[in-house]
A = this chain, B = another copy of it.
Amino acid sequence: AVISVLYIYLYFVHRGQESAGIVTSDGESSQAFKVHKGMGLINHVFNADSLKKLYVSNLGIGHTRYSTSGISELQNCQPFVVETLHGKIAVAHNGELTNAVRLRRKLMRHGVGLSTSSDSELITQLLAFTPPLENDDTADWVARIKNLMNETPTSYSLLIMHKDIIYAVRDPYGNRPLCIGRLIPVGDMNGKGKDNSETEGWVVSSESCSFLSIGAEYYREVLPGEIVKISRYDVQTLDVVPRPEGDPSAFCIFEYVYFARPDSIFEGQMVYSVRRRCGQQLAIEAPVEADLVSTVPESATPAALGYAQKCGLPYVEVLCKNRYVGRTFIQPNMRLRQLGVAKKFGVLSDNFKGKRVVIIDDSIVRGNTISPIIKLLRESGAKEVHIRVASPPIRFPCYMGINIPTKEELIANRPEFHDLANYIGADSVVYLSVEGLVSSVQESIKARKENENSLKTQKSRVGKIGHCTACLTGEYPVELEW
C-alpha cells in the first residue's frame, strides 16, 4: 500500500478559491520536498509542468485556501514548509485558532520572527519550536503535536508531512472536518482482479465527496482530538487528546447547512439527507397554502424536495441557472444595476403563471439576493411568493474558520428583520428553528448510537456529542481570547 494524498485536493475548489498549493516528499530525505503554490483557483495555479515537477513519489499534501484571518497574499498560501533541526515539515491547516494573538506573542518573545499573519504559520512554528530542544537529538513529532494541541483547543484540522509519514490531526472539539479514504485497487474497479498494486493507498480529505473522484472509498472520520499516523503500511491512531471534562464535541453545523457538498458524509450521515430532513422539518414548523414548491437553484433543492414531499405539493422548477455569467461588461447605468439577479437566472414563467409559489432557500445572509428574485417571479406572473428558509438566521460572527459577514451586515441583526416579508417583498417568510436544525442534524446520529453496539467503543472516545451553533446562538464552544 502506497500513501497517496496528492490527487485529492483537486475536488476542494468549493472549499477555497483564493490560493492553492501542493508539497510532495520523496519519502526518504527530509530535505527533498517539492513545493508549488500560487494565488487563485487550482486550474490557474497548476499546469502540466508544475505537476510534473511535483511527481517525486506518491506522497504529498495539498491545500486550497479560503481566507478567514490573514490577508490575501501569496505568502499565506499553504502548505507551509519549514526546515527544523530534524528536517523539513510541511503543514496544511483548515480552521482558525481562537487564541492566535497570545500564541503569536509567545513565539515572538522567544525570538521567532513571523513572516505572515496566518494562523497556519503559527502552527508550523509551534511545531518547530516546542522545547526542550537542547537535548533533542531525535525528533518526537507526536510529543510536539500533543504540545501544540495543549497550547490551542480549536479550531484546526491538520496534515503534517515529515519524510515518509503524514500525521492527520483534528482538534479536540472536532470543529473542522477531516476524513480518511482508501484507494480501491484498480483490479477491483474493473472487476477483473488486482492488476496494479502501485495505486493502492490512503487519502485524507476535509470532505468525503472527493474520494469517489479519485477512485477511493470512504474509510472513516478522524475523531475529535485524534492523532492519526499514516504510513506506507497502515493507518494508526497514536493518541486521542481529550476535551475538558464535560465539554461536548463541536462540529460546525454550518458545514451541514451550507458549506459542504451534498454527497459528503459527516458523522455517519450524508449531507444531502440532513438538508432534506431540514426541509421536512420546515414543512412541519411552517406550512403554507400554495400550488407548488420550488427553490433557488441549486443548493436548496434537497430541502425543497423534502418540503414538497412532506406537504404533498408538487415540486416545480421556476428558475434555470445561467451557467455562463462571468464578468459583466455592461456599463453601469440605472437599467443595468437592476439586472444583477436576472443575469444569473432564466425564468421558466410558463411553469408558475397565476400560481402560489413557495420558495425554499438554504439561508438568507444579507437579504439582497432573495428580494430581486421575488420581484422577478411576481413580474413573470406568480400570484403569491412565500419564502421558507431551511436554516435559522445567522446572528453572530464565527471565529473558527467560516467567513461570515460582520454583525452589522447580517440581515437578522438589522431593523428590517422585524418586517422581513415586507422588506424583501414576500407574502410570508419563516426560518427553520435552531431546535429544528439541531434535531434534523442529530436525529440519525442518535438513532444509530442507540441501535449499534459496535459504536459504543468509539462513542466513549468521542465523548458527548454536540454541534457548534455559535453563529446562530452566540454560544461559542470555547472561551474566546484576544
Q: Could you say which of A104-112, A156-164, A385-393 contacts chain B?
A: A104-112
Docked complex Cα distance between A305 and B74 (Å): 47
Contact A334 B82 (CB under 8 A): no
Which residue of B is nearest A91, CB measured? B113
- Contact among B74, B112, B134, B183 for A74, CB-based, below 8 A: B74
Q: Which residues A223-281 have CB closer than 8 A to chain B?
A: 261-264, 270, 272-273
Q: A413 → chain B, closest Cβ, in Å? A: 27
Q: Could you say which of A168-176, A209-217, A359-367 contacts chain B?
A: A209-217
Q: A113-B129, A115-B80, A215-B339 are in contact. Are A199 and B333 (CB under 8 A)?
A: yes
Q: A143 → chain B, closest Cβ, in Å? A: 14
CB contacts (< 8 Å) of A369 on chain B: these are none
Q: Does A133 belong to the interface (CB within 8 Å)?
A: yes
Q: A125-B113, A335-B196, A335-B199 are in contact. Are A272 and B214 (CB under 8 A)?
A: no
Q: What per-residue 1/0 map shows which CB atoms of A105-127 lie under 8 Å from chain B?
A: 10011111111010000001101
Q: What per-residue 1/0 map shows which CB atoms of A324-363 lie under 8 Å from chain B?
A: 1011111101111011001100111111000000000000
Q: Could you say which of A41-49, A401-409, A450-458, A471-479 contacts chain B?
A: A41-49
Q: Does A448 belong to the interface (CB within 8 Å)?
A: no
CB contacts (< 8 Å) of A73 on chain B: these are 35
Contact A112 B133 (CB under 8 A): no
Q: A406 → chain B, closest Cβ, in Å? A: 21
Which residue of B is nearest A265, CB measured? B350
Q: Does A102 belong to the interface (CB within 8 Å)?
A: no
Q: Does A83 belong to the interface (CB within 8 Å)?
A: yes
Which residue of B is nearest A309, CB measured? B314
Q: Which residues A127-161 have CB closer than 8 A to chain B?
A: 127-131, 133-134
CB contacts (< 8 Å) of A323 on chain B: these are 14
Q: Does A81 belong to the interface (CB within 8 Å)?
A: yes
Q: Does A190 belong to the interface (CB within 8 Å)?
A: yes
Q: Does A219 belong to the interface (CB within 8 Å)?
A: no
CB contacts (< 8 Å) of A80 on chain B: these are 115
Contact A131 B114 (CB under 8 A): no
Q: Does A290 belong to the interface (CB within 8 Å)?
A: no
Q: Does A434 belong to the interface (CB within 8 Å)?
A: no
Q: Does A417 belong to the interface (CB within 8 Å)?
A: no
Q: Which residues A299-314 have CB closer than 8 A to chain B?
A: 301-302, 305, 309, 314
Contact A329 B199 (CB under 8 A): no
Docked complex Cα distance between A133 and B264 (Å): 49
Contact B133 A111 (CB under 8 A): yes
CB contacts (< 8 Å) of A349 on chain B: these are 263, 270
Docked complex Cα distance between A347 and B320 (Å): 22
Number of copies: 4
Contact A108 B84 (CB under 8 A): yes
Q: A198 → chain B, closest Cβ, in Å? A: 8
Docked complex Cα distance between A186 and B336 (Å): 9
Interface size class of A (residues with CB under 8 A): 35 or more
Docked complex Cα distance between A206 and B482 (Å): 43
Q: A193 → chain B, closest Cβ, in Å? A: 13
CB contacts (< 8 Å) of A264 on chain B: these are 346
Contact B111 A326 (CB under 8 A): no
CB contacts (< 8 Å) of A111 on chain B: these are 110, 112, 128-131, 133
Q: Does A438 belong to the interface (CB within 8 Å)?
A: no
Q: A186-B335, A334-B196 are in contact. Are A108 and B81 (CB under 8 A)?
A: no
Interface residues, chain A, CB within 8 Å of chain B? 7, 10-11, 13-14, 35, 41-43, 46-48, 51, 55, 73-75, 80-85, 89, 104-105, 108-115, 117, 124-125, 127-131, 133-134, 183, 186, 189-190, 195-196, 198-199, 209, 212-215, 261-264, 270, 272-273, 298, 301-302, 305, 309, 314-317, 320-324, 326-331, 333-336, 338-339, 342-343, 346-351
A-B pairs with beta carbons under 8 Å apart, 15 shown: A7-B329, A7-B330, A10-B328, A11-B324, A46-B327, A82-B115, A85-B105, A109-B134, A112-B113, A190-B338, A261-B320, A262-B346, A270-B348, A309-B314, A315-B315
Extra inter-chain contacts (12) besides given A213-B342, A262-B346, CB under 8 Å:
A7-B329, A11-B322, A43-B327, A80-B115, A82-B115, A111-B130, A111-B131, A183-B335, A215-B339, A263-B349, A273-B351, A298-B321
